[in-house]
Amino acid sequence: MPAASRALVLFAQSGDTRPLRHRGVAAALAEAGLATLLLGLLTETEEVVDASTGHLRFDVPLLATRLVDATDWMRAQSATSGLRVGYFGARTGAAAALVAAAARPTAVSAVVSRGGRPDLAAHVLEQVQAPTLLIVGGDDLPVITLNREALKRLHVESVLEIVPGAGHRFEDPGALASVTDLARRWFERHLTRPPAS
């Protein structure tokens, strides 16, 4: 939490989507004056189970409920109660972020999805009120299709950004830097400026 933080971004992480690269994105957001919370949506025990079954990371209602609970808790803390909130989610964490944003429309002011699965939140996409940025790797063709379909169902300001040459995990040279820059600019635009009347 930087001094004089201008907003708060919660990173919705589940299963094997807790990579060190999220720390790099969070550090860049902190340099821009945004507080960050990297939140594991599964307990350590659940992660062990999920490593062999793979099913808990796809339990979007469970993940979204935990993200909503964390959002409510952060908004009740004196250090963060006055900060506007954004979500950054990858893969199924992005679906949880969209479901949580629909559940807390007045609490969440922006969403960024990296390589996300918005199809897993299809039942609430029309209810999302937070401006939403969908970032997909240019080589991740199935996920591009899923995100294009989601974009049609979002009734808020929403943009699909395709990072050329990037795969599903954005491990290609320069891919994560592009994601970081896009996310930082989206959050600065929607979290640090007064909302439009």
pLDDT of residue 19: 58
For residues 41 and 64, give the distance between their C-alpha atoms in angstroms, rounded to a whole number: 8
Q: In the predicted model, what is the mean pLDDT of residues 34-40?
A: 93
Residue among 116, 171, 114, 176 at smallest CA distance from 146: 116
Q: What is the pLDDT of residues 64-99, one digit of tens each?
A: 999 999 999 999 999 999 999 999 999 999 999 999
Q: In the predicted model, what is the mean pLDDT of residues 160-180?
A: 92
Domain boundaries, the chain: 7-191
State in words which class domain 7-191 has.
Answer: alpha beta
pLDDT of residue 195: 55
pLDDT of residue 54: 84
For residues 64 and 191, give the distance between their C-alpha atoms in angstroms, rounded to a whole number: 21
Q: In the predicted model, what is the mean pLDDT of residues 95-106?
A: 98
For residues 138 and 107, give the distance between their C-alpha atoms in angstroms, rounded to a whole number: 32
pLDDT of residue 16: 52
pLDDT of residue 17: 44
Q: Tell me if residue 173 falls in helix, strand or coil.
A: coil
**Rg value, the chain, Cα:** 15
Give, to the nearest 10 degrees, the angle between helix 21-31 and helix 175-191: 40
Kind plus residue range of the DSSP H or E element containing 10: strand 7-13
Q: Please state which of the ranges 7-21, 75-89, 90-104, 108-122 shows the lowest mean pLDDT.
A: 7-21
For residues 22 and 136, give the distance between their C-alpha atoms in angstroms, rounded to a whole number: 16
pLDDT of residue 50: 87
